[in-house]
Amino acid sequence: MAGNTFGKLFTITTFGESHGIALGGIIDGCPSGIQIDLDFIQSELDRRRPGQSHIVTQRKESDTVEFLSGIFESKTMGTPIGFIIRNENQKSKDYEHNIDVYRPSHADYTYDAKYGMRDHRGGGRSSARETVCRVVGGAIAKLILKQNGISIHAYTSQVGDIKLLKDYHDLDFSKIDSNIVRCPDALLADTMIQKIEQVRKAGDTIGGVISCVIKGTPVGLGEPVFDKLHADIGKAMLSINAVKGFEYGSGFEGVKMNGSQHNDAFVSENGGIKTKTNHSGGIQGGISNGEDIYFRVAFKPVATIMQKQNTVNSKGEATEMMGKGRHDPCVLPRAVPIVEAMAALVLVDHLLRNK
Protein backbone atom coordinates (compact mmCIF):
# COMPACT_ATOMS: atom_id res chain seq x y z
CA MET A 1 0.00 0.00 0.00
CA ALA A 2 2.92 2.30 0.79
CA GLY A 3 4.31 1.49 -2.63
CA ASN A 4 7.24 -0.77 -1.83
CA THR A 5 5.69 -4.04 -2.95
CA PHE A 6 5.38 -5.19 -6.55
CA GLY A 7 3.27 -8.08 -7.83
CA LYS A 8 0.19 -9.91 -6.63
CA LEU A 9 1.09 -13.61 -6.33
CA PHE A 10 4.83 -13.44 -6.90
CA THR A 11 5.72 -10.36 -4.91
CA ILE A 12 8.85 -8.44 -4.11
CA THR A 13 9.01 -5.89 -1.30
CA THR A 14 12.18 -3.81 -1.16
CA PHE A 15 13.84 -1.54 1.38
CA GLY A 16 16.97 0.54 1.57
CA GLU A 17 18.47 3.94 0.94
CA SER A 18 21.36 4.86 -1.32
CA HIS A 19 23.75 5.62 1.53
CA GLY A 20 22.17 3.57 4.32
CA ILE A 21 23.53 0.39 5.87
CA ALA A 22 22.03 -2.04 3.40
CA LEU A 23 19.34 -2.57 0.81
CA GLY A 24 17.32 -5.72 0.57
CA GLY A 25 13.99 -7.30 0.04
CA ILE A 26 11.60 -10.17 0.48
CA ILE A 27 10.39 -12.30 -2.40
CA ASP A 28 7.14 -13.96 -1.43
CA GLY A 29 5.02 -16.42 -3.36
CA CYS A 30 7.97 -18.07 -5.09
CA PRO A 31 7.03 -21.68 -5.83
CA SER A 32 8.96 -24.34 -3.94
CA GLY A 33 11.53 -26.53 -5.61
CA ILE A 34 13.14 -23.88 -7.86
CA GLN A 35 16.87 -24.57 -8.22
CA ILE A 36 18.71 -21.37 -7.25
CA ASP A 37 21.76 -20.60 -9.37
CA LEU A 38 23.69 -18.07 -7.28
CA ASP A 39 26.25 -17.45 -10.02
CA PHE A 40 23.52 -16.47 -12.43
CA ILE A 41 21.95 -14.10 -9.90
CA GLN A 42 25.29 -12.47 -9.23
CA SER A 43 25.97 -12.16 -12.98
CA GLU A 44 22.69 -10.27 -13.37
CA LEU A 45 23.75 -7.94 -10.55
CA ASP A 46 27.09 -7.42 -12.28
CA ARG A 47 25.29 -6.23 -15.42
CA ARG A 48 23.72 -3.47 -13.31
CA ARG A 49 26.72 -2.83 -11.05
CA PRO A 50 28.32 0.64 -10.85
CA GLY A 51 31.90 0.86 -12.04
CA GLN A 52 31.48 -1.79 -14.72
CA SER A 53 32.80 0.49 -17.49
CA HIS A 54 34.05 4.03 -18.01
CA ILE A 55 30.66 5.28 -19.22
CA VAL A 56 28.88 4.58 -15.93
CA THR A 57 29.25 5.87 -12.36
CA GLN A 58 32.54 4.93 -10.68
CA ARG A 59 31.02 4.19 -7.26
CA LYS A 60 32.68 0.95 -6.10
CA GLU A 61 30.18 -1.59 -4.92
CA SER A 62 30.58 -5.35 -5.11
CA ASP A 63 26.78 -5.64 -4.91
CA THR A 64 27.07 -9.04 -3.30
CA VAL A 65 23.73 -10.47 -2.33
CA GLU A 66 23.31 -12.48 0.87
CA PHE A 67 20.27 -14.75 0.99
CA LEU A 68 18.96 -15.19 4.53
CA SER A 69 15.97 -17.51 4.18
CA GLY A 70 13.64 -19.40 1.89
CA ILE A 71 16.36 -21.49 0.25
CA PHE A 72 17.46 -24.85 1.61
CA GLU A 73 20.02 -27.07 -0.05
CA SER A 74 19.97 -24.75 -3.11
CA LYS A 75 16.22 -25.00 -3.63
CA THR A 76 13.39 -22.66 -2.80
CA MET A 77 11.09 -23.93 -0.07
CA GLY A 78 7.97 -21.92 -0.83
CA THR A 79 8.72 -19.73 2.18
CA PRO A 80 9.70 -16.06 1.83
CA ILE A 81 13.17 -15.36 0.45
CA GLY A 82 14.88 -12.61 2.44
CA PHE A 83 18.06 -11.04 1.09
CA ILE A 84 20.33 -8.07 1.74
CA ILE A 85 23.06 -6.18 -0.12
CA ARG A 86 25.26 -4.09 2.10
CA ASN A 87 26.39 -0.66 0.94
CA GLU A 88 30.17 -0.57 0.92
CA ASN A 89 31.25 2.60 -0.77
CA GLN A 90 28.95 5.34 0.48
CA LYS A 91 30.62 8.72 0.26
CA SER A 92 28.07 10.73 2.15
CA LYS A 93 30.43 13.71 2.15
CA ASP A 94 29.65 14.26 -1.51
CA TYR A 95 26.20 15.34 -0.43
CA GLU A 96 26.94 17.42 2.64
CA HIS A 97 27.19 20.66 0.73
CA ASN A 98 23.71 20.05 -0.64
CA ILE A 99 21.86 19.02 2.53
CA ASP A 100 19.44 21.85 2.33
CA VAL A 101 19.36 22.42 -1.43
CA TYR A 102 16.70 21.06 -3.77
CA ARG A 103 18.57 19.60 -6.75
CA PRO A 104 16.68 20.36 -10.00
CA SER A 105 14.63 17.47 -11.41
CA HIS A 106 15.53 15.30 -8.44
CA ALA A 107 13.08 14.12 -5.78
CA ASP A 108 14.53 16.23 -2.94
CA TYR A 109 11.69 18.71 -2.93
CA THR A 110 8.84 16.23 -3.35
CA TYR A 111 10.18 13.85 -0.67
CA ASP A 112 10.61 16.71 1.78
CA ALA A 113 7.11 17.94 1.06
CA LYS A 114 5.53 14.50 1.31
CA TYR A 115 7.34 13.01 4.28
CA GLY A 116 8.46 16.12 6.15
CA MET A 117 12.03 14.82 6.04
CA ARG A 118 14.41 12.77 3.90
CA ASP A 119 17.79 11.12 3.85
CA HIS A 120 19.70 13.67 1.78
CA ARG A 121 22.65 11.36 1.22
CA GLY A 122 22.66 10.34 -2.42
CA GLY A 123 18.94 10.75 -2.86
CA GLY A 124 18.12 8.29 -0.09
CA ARG A 125 15.20 6.12 -1.09
CA SER A 126 14.64 8.00 -4.37
CA SER A 127 18.02 6.87 -5.69
CA ALA A 128 18.15 4.29 -8.48
CA ARG A 129 20.36 2.30 -6.13
CA GLU A 130 17.10 0.72 -4.97
CA THR A 131 16.85 -1.10 -8.30
CA VAL A 132 19.60 -3.47 -7.19
CA CYS A 133 16.90 -5.33 -5.26
CA ARG A 134 14.70 -5.54 -8.32
CA VAL A 135 17.52 -7.25 -10.20
CA VAL A 136 17.77 -9.90 -7.45
CA GLY A 137 14.03 -10.55 -7.71
CA GLY A 138 14.15 -10.45 -11.49
CA ALA A 139 16.97 -12.98 -11.58
CA ILE A 140 14.94 -15.48 -9.58
CA ALA A 141 11.96 -14.75 -11.81
CA LYS A 142 14.13 -15.46 -14.86
CA LEU A 143 15.04 -18.87 -13.44
CA ILE A 144 11.33 -19.68 -13.32
CA LEU A 145 10.68 -18.26 -16.79
CA LYS A 146 13.52 -20.31 -18.23
CA GLN A 147 11.81 -23.48 -17.01
CA ASN A 148 8.74 -22.28 -18.89
CA GLY A 149 10.60 -21.53 -22.12
CA ILE A 150 10.31 -17.76 -21.82
CA SER A 151 13.26 -15.46 -22.52
CA ILE A 152 13.60 -11.68 -22.22
CA HIS A 153 15.91 -9.57 -24.34
CA ALA A 154 16.35 -5.87 -23.59
CA TYR A 155 18.83 -3.62 -25.35
CA THR A 156 19.72 0.02 -25.81
CA SER A 157 18.04 1.14 -29.02
CA GLN A 158 18.52 4.90 -28.77
CA VAL A 159 20.93 7.32 -27.07
CA GLY A 160 20.03 10.94 -27.59
CA ASP A 161 19.21 11.18 -31.28
CA ILE A 162 21.21 8.11 -32.24
CA LYS A 163 18.53 5.55 -32.97
CA LEU A 164 18.72 1.91 -34.00
CA LEU A 165 16.29 1.69 -36.92
CA LYS A 166 16.57 -2.03 -37.62
CA ASP A 167 13.62 -4.29 -36.97
CA TYR A 168 14.31 -6.48 -33.95
CA HIS A 169 14.09 -9.58 -36.13
CA ASP A 170 17.31 -8.47 -37.80
CA LEU A 171 19.28 -8.21 -34.55
CA ASP A 172 21.43 -10.84 -32.86
CA PHE A 173 20.42 -10.71 -29.20
CA SER A 174 23.50 -12.71 -28.21
CA LYS A 175 25.51 -9.58 -29.03
CA ILE A 176 23.72 -7.35 -26.51
CA ASP A 177 26.33 -7.75 -23.79
CA SER A 178 29.26 -7.67 -26.20
CA ASN A 179 29.66 -3.93 -25.73
CA ILE A 180 29.38 -1.59 -22.77
CA VAL A 181 26.29 0.28 -23.98
CA ARG A 182 24.35 -2.96 -24.58
CA CYS A 183 23.25 -2.29 -28.17
CA PRO A 184 23.35 -5.46 -30.31
CA ASP A 185 24.46 -3.47 -33.38
CA ALA A 186 28.22 -3.10 -32.91
CA LEU A 187 28.60 -0.11 -35.23
CA LEU A 188 25.81 1.89 -33.68
CA ALA A 189 27.01 0.88 -30.23
CA ASP A 190 30.32 2.60 -30.92
CA THR A 191 28.56 5.79 -31.93
CA MET A 192 26.42 5.67 -28.82
CA ILE A 193 29.47 5.18 -26.60
CA GLN A 194 31.19 8.14 -28.21
CA LYS A 195 28.10 10.23 -27.65
CA ILE A 196 28.01 9.31 -23.97
CA GLU A 197 31.72 10.06 -23.56
CA GLN A 198 31.11 13.42 -25.17
CA VAL A 199 28.31 14.48 -22.82
CA ARG A 200 30.21 13.17 -19.82
CA LYS A 201 33.23 15.32 -20.70
CA ALA A 202 30.89 18.30 -20.95
CA GLY A 203 29.64 17.55 -17.44
CA ASP A 204 26.29 16.76 -18.95
CA THR A 205 23.99 13.76 -19.38
CA ILE A 206 21.81 12.26 -22.11
CA GLY A 207 18.63 10.16 -22.35
CA GLY A 208 17.66 7.25 -24.55
CA VAL A 209 15.37 4.33 -25.25
CA ILE A 210 15.53 0.68 -24.26
CA SER A 211 13.68 -1.85 -26.39
CA CYS A 212 12.66 -5.23 -25.08
CA VAL A 213 11.47 -8.44 -26.72
CA ILE A 214 9.92 -11.35 -24.81
CA LYS A 215 9.88 -14.70 -26.58
CA GLY A 216 8.04 -17.87 -25.68
CA THR A 217 5.14 -16.43 -23.66
CA PRO A 218 2.25 -18.90 -23.60
CA VAL A 219 -1.25 -17.81 -24.64
CA GLY A 220 -3.39 -16.60 -21.75
CA LEU A 221 -1.34 -14.30 -19.50
CA GLY A 222 -3.04 -11.08 -18.38
CA GLU A 223 -6.10 -10.34 -16.24
CA PRO A 224 -8.58 -7.96 -17.86
CA VAL A 225 -10.09 -5.55 -17.45
CA PHE A 226 -7.63 -3.58 -15.31
CA ASP A 227 -4.62 -5.88 -14.99
CA LYS A 228 -4.10 -6.30 -18.71
CA LEU A 229 -0.69 -7.80 -19.34
CA HIS A 230 0.61 -4.69 -21.11
CA ALA A 231 -0.84 -2.43 -18.38
CA ASP A 232 1.16 -4.28 -15.75
CA ILE A 233 4.30 -4.28 -17.91
CA GLY A 234 3.80 -0.58 -18.53
CA LYS A 235 3.45 0.18 -14.83
CA ALA A 236 6.55 -1.92 -14.11
CA MET A 237 8.60 0.10 -16.60
CA LEU A 238 7.21 3.46 -15.48
CA SER A 239 8.21 2.58 -11.92
CA ILE A 240 11.90 2.54 -12.95
CA ASN A 241 13.78 5.76 -12.18
CA ALA A 242 13.95 8.27 -15.07
CA VAL A 243 11.35 6.56 -17.28
CA LYS A 244 9.04 8.96 -19.15
CA GLY A 245 7.22 6.75 -21.62
CA PHE A 246 6.16 3.25 -22.60
CA GLU A 247 4.72 1.84 -25.80
CA TYR A 248 4.17 -1.71 -27.00
CA GLY A 249 3.43 -3.25 -30.36
CA SER A 250 2.66 -0.56 -32.92
CA GLY A 251 2.81 2.07 -30.16
CA PHE A 252 2.56 5.78 -30.92
CA GLU A 253 3.40 5.20 -34.59
CA GLY A 254 0.49 2.82 -34.99
CA VAL A 255 -2.09 5.56 -34.45
CA LYS A 256 -1.55 6.70 -38.01
CA MET A 257 -2.60 3.37 -39.46
CA ASN A 258 -6.01 2.28 -40.65
CA GLY A 259 -7.64 -0.73 -39.05
CA SER A 260 -7.31 -2.63 -42.32
CA GLN A 261 -3.53 -2.19 -42.19
CA HIS A 262 -3.14 -2.63 -38.44
CA ASN A 263 -5.21 -5.79 -37.91
CA ASP A 264 -3.17 -8.96 -37.45
CA ALA A 265 -4.75 -11.70 -39.56
CA PHE A 266 -4.96 -15.10 -37.84
CA VAL A 267 -3.39 -18.01 -39.68
CA SER A 268 -3.10 -21.68 -38.95
CA GLU A 269 0.45 -22.89 -38.51
CA ASN A 270 1.66 -26.32 -37.44
CA GLY A 271 -1.63 -27.05 -35.78
CA GLY A 272 -1.50 -23.83 -33.80
CA ILE A 273 -2.97 -20.39 -34.31
CA LYS A 274 -0.56 -17.60 -35.17
CA THR A 275 -0.87 -14.09 -36.55
CA LYS A 276 0.55 -12.98 -39.89
CA THR A 277 1.70 -9.60 -38.62
CA ASN A 278 2.20 -8.59 -34.98
CA HIS A 279 1.14 -4.97 -34.58
CA SER A 280 -0.62 -6.15 -31.44
CA GLY A 281 2.77 -6.73 -29.82
CA GLY A 282 1.83 -10.19 -28.62
CA ILE A 283 -1.10 -9.03 -26.49
CA GLN A 284 -4.78 -8.87 -27.50
CA GLY A 285 -7.52 -7.73 -25.15
CA GLY A 286 -4.87 -7.55 -22.45
CA ILE A 287 -3.99 -11.24 -22.77
CA SER A 288 -0.87 -12.71 -24.39
CA ASN A 289 -1.56 -14.44 -27.71
CA GLY A 290 1.67 -16.40 -28.00
CA GLU A 291 3.43 -14.00 -30.39
CA ASP A 292 6.52 -12.03 -29.38
CA ILE A 293 5.82 -9.30 -26.85
CA TYR A 294 7.84 -6.20 -27.65
CA PHE A 295 7.91 -2.73 -26.16
CA ARG A 296 9.97 0.44 -25.86
CA VAL A 297 10.85 2.45 -22.74
CA ALA A 298 11.93 6.13 -22.78
CA PHE A 299 14.55 7.34 -20.28
CA LYS A 300 15.13 11.03 -19.65
CA PRO A 301 18.68 12.37 -19.21
CA VAL A 302 20.08 11.89 -15.68
CA ALA A 303 19.37 14.93 -13.50
CA THR A 304 22.77 15.14 -11.83
CA ILE A 305 25.09 17.21 -14.04
CA MET A 306 28.54 18.62 -13.33
CA GLN A 307 27.46 22.14 -14.13
CA LYS A 308 26.35 25.06 -12.03
CA GLN A 309 22.53 25.25 -11.74
CA ASN A 310 20.09 27.70 -10.24
CA THR A 311 17.73 26.35 -7.64
CA VAL A 312 16.22 27.05 -4.22
CA ASN A 313 16.84 25.70 -0.74
CA SER A 314 14.25 24.33 1.67
CA LYS A 315 13.40 27.84 2.81
CA GLY A 316 12.58 28.73 -0.79
CA GLU A 317 15.62 31.01 -1.13
CA ALA A 318 17.37 31.20 -4.48
CA THR A 319 20.77 29.55 -4.56
CA GLU A 320 23.24 27.82 -6.88
CA MET A 321 24.44 24.25 -6.74
CA MET A 322 26.63 21.83 -8.65
CA GLY A 323 26.82 18.04 -8.66
CA LYS A 324 29.73 16.35 -6.96
CA GLY A 325 30.91 12.79 -6.81
CA ARG A 326 30.27 9.83 -9.06
CA HIS A 327 27.31 9.71 -11.42
CA ASP A 328 26.05 8.11 -14.63
CA PRO A 329 26.23 10.33 -17.71
CA CYS A 330 23.64 8.03 -19.27
CA VAL A 331 21.48 5.55 -17.43
CA LEU A 332 20.82 3.25 -20.38
CA PRO A 333 23.64 0.68 -20.13
CA ARG A 334 22.84 -0.14 -16.51
CA ALA A 335 19.08 0.09 -17.06
CA VAL A 336 19.00 -2.81 -19.52
CA PRO A 337 19.09 -5.49 -16.79
CA ILE A 338 16.58 -3.49 -14.75
CA VAL A 339 14.09 -3.45 -17.63
CA GLU A 340 14.56 -7.19 -17.99
CA ALA A 341 14.15 -7.73 -14.25
CA MET A 342 10.87 -5.82 -14.10
CA ALA A 343 9.57 -7.61 -17.18
CA ALA A 344 10.49 -10.94 -15.60
CA LEU A 345 8.68 -10.06 -12.37
CA VAL A 346 5.49 -9.21 -14.29
CA LEU A 347 5.65 -12.36 -16.39
CA VAL A 348 6.13 -14.74 -13.45
CA ASP A 349 3.38 -12.99 -11.51
CA HIS A 350 0.98 -13.47 -14.41
CA LEU A 351 2.12 -17.04 -15.00
CA LEU A 352 1.04 -17.82 -11.44
CA ARG A 353 -2.13 -15.73 -11.69
CA ASN A 354 -3.16 -17.65 -14.80
CA LYS A 355 -3.12 -20.97 -13.00
Binding to a second copy (CB under 8 A) within 68-107 occurs at 68-70, 72, 75, 77-82, 84, 102, 104-107
At its nearest, how many Å lie between a second copy and the CB of residue 213? Answer: 16
Name which of 167 and 174 has its Cβ closer to a second copy: 167
Burial 207-245 (b: 16+ CB within 10 A, else e): bbbbbbbbeebeeebbbeeebbbbbbbbebbeebbbbee
Smallest Cα–Cα separation from 19: which of 325, 340, 331, 278?
325
Instruction: List the interface residues with a second copy, window 127-186 (CB under 8 A).
Output: 130, 158, 160-161
Name which of 2 and 187 has its Cβ closer to a second copy: 2
Q: Is 204 in the site for a second copy (CB under 8 A)?
A: yes
Q: How far apart are the first and last CA of the chain?
A: 25
Smallest Cα–Cα separation from 348: which of 215, 150, 213, 155?
150
The answer to whether 117 touches 169, Cβ cutoff 8 Å, is: no
Q: Binder to a second copy among 91, 146, 279, 324 (CB under 8 A)? A: 279
Name which of 180 and 298 has its Cβ closer to a second copy: 298
What's the sign of the alpha-carbon dihedral 168, 174, 180, 186?
Answer: negative
Name which of 174 and 355 has its Cβ closer to a second copy: 355
Q: How many residues bind a second copy (CB under 8 A)?
A: 142
Instruction: List the interface residues with a second copy, window 324-353 (CB under 8 A).
Output: 353
Name which of 182 and 230 has its Cβ closer to a second copy: 230
Residues paired with residue 284 on neighbouring β-strands, in sequence order? 287
The answer to whether 8 touches 343, Cβ cutoff 8 Å, is: no
Residue 179 CA: distances (Å) to CA of 33, 47, 53, 94, 288? 35, 11, 10, 30, 32
At its nearest, how many Å lie between a second copy and the CB of residue 224? Answer: 6
At its nearest, how many Å lie between a second copy and the CB of residue 142? Answer: 19
At its nearest, how many Å lie between a second copy and the CB of residue 342? Answer: 10
Name which of 117 and 187 has its Cβ closer to a second copy: 117
Instruction: List the interface residues with a second copy, window 233-262 (CB under 8 A).
Output: 234-235, 238-239, 244-252, 254-262
How many angstroms separate the CA atoms of 77 and 70, rounded? 6
